Amino acid sequence: MSIAVPTVTEAFEKRFGAKPELVVRAPGRVNIIGEHTDYNHGFVLPMAIERETAIAGRRRDDGLLVARAENLNRDVTVRLDERVRNAAEPWIDYIMGVVDELLKAGKTPVGADILILGDVPLGCGLSSSAALEMAALCLFEELGGFNFDGPEAARLGQRVENNFLGLKSGIMDQFISRCGKADHGLFLDCRSFAYDLVPISFDNALFVIANTKCARGLTASKYNERVGECGEAVAALRAGTGREGTHLRDFTLEDLEVCRGGMSEIAFRRARHVITEDVRTQKACEAMRAGDKVTLGAFMTASDISLRDDYEVTSPELNAMADAARALPGCHGARMTGAGFGGCTINLVDADKAAAFCAELMQGYTKATGIVGELILSRPADGAGRMA
- The site for ligand GLA (CB under 6 A) is made up of 35-36, 38-39, 169-170, 172-173, 338-339
Largest CA distance in the chain: 67
Cβ-count burial of 222 within 10 angstroms (0-12 exposed, 13-18 middle, 19+ buried)? middle
**Number of other CB atoms surrounding residue 220 within 10 Å:** 16
Tell how far CA 53 is from the center of its chain. 13
Of 78 and 339, the one with the shorter C-beta distance to ligand GLA is 339
* Alpha-helical segments (H) within 214-353: 219-241, 253-258, 265-289, 293-309, 316-326
The yes-or-no answer on residue 173 being catalytic is: yes
Cβ at position 328, least distance to ligand GLA in Å: 25
Angstrom distances, CA of residue 342 to CA of 222, 301, 312: 12, 17, 12
Cβ at position 317, least distance to ligand GLA in Å: 17
Task: Say what angle helices 93-104 and 150-159 make with each other, to 10 degrees.
Answer: 120
The amino acid present at 258, given as its one-letter code, is V
Of 33 and 65, the one with the shorter C-beta distance to ligand GLA is 33
Of 36 and 159, the one with the shorter C-beta distance to ligand GLA is 36
C-alpha dihedral sign at 125, 130, 131, 133: positive
Cβ at position 281, least distance to ligand GLA in Å: 10
Catalytic option among 38, 100, 113, 173: 173
Of 56 and 300, the one with the shorter C-beta distance to ligand GLA is 300
Cβ at position 6, least distance to ligand GLA in Å: 32
Annotate 52-118 with three-state secondary structure: EEEEEEEEECCCEEEEEECCCCEEEEEECCCCCCCCCCHHHHHHHHHHHHHHHCCCCCCEEEEEEEE
The residue among 385, 386, 337, 387 whose CA lies nearest residue 178 is 385
Of 9 and 174, the one with the shorter C-beta distance to ligand GLA is 174
Cβ at position 65, least distance to ligand GLA in Å: 24
Known catalytic residues are 173
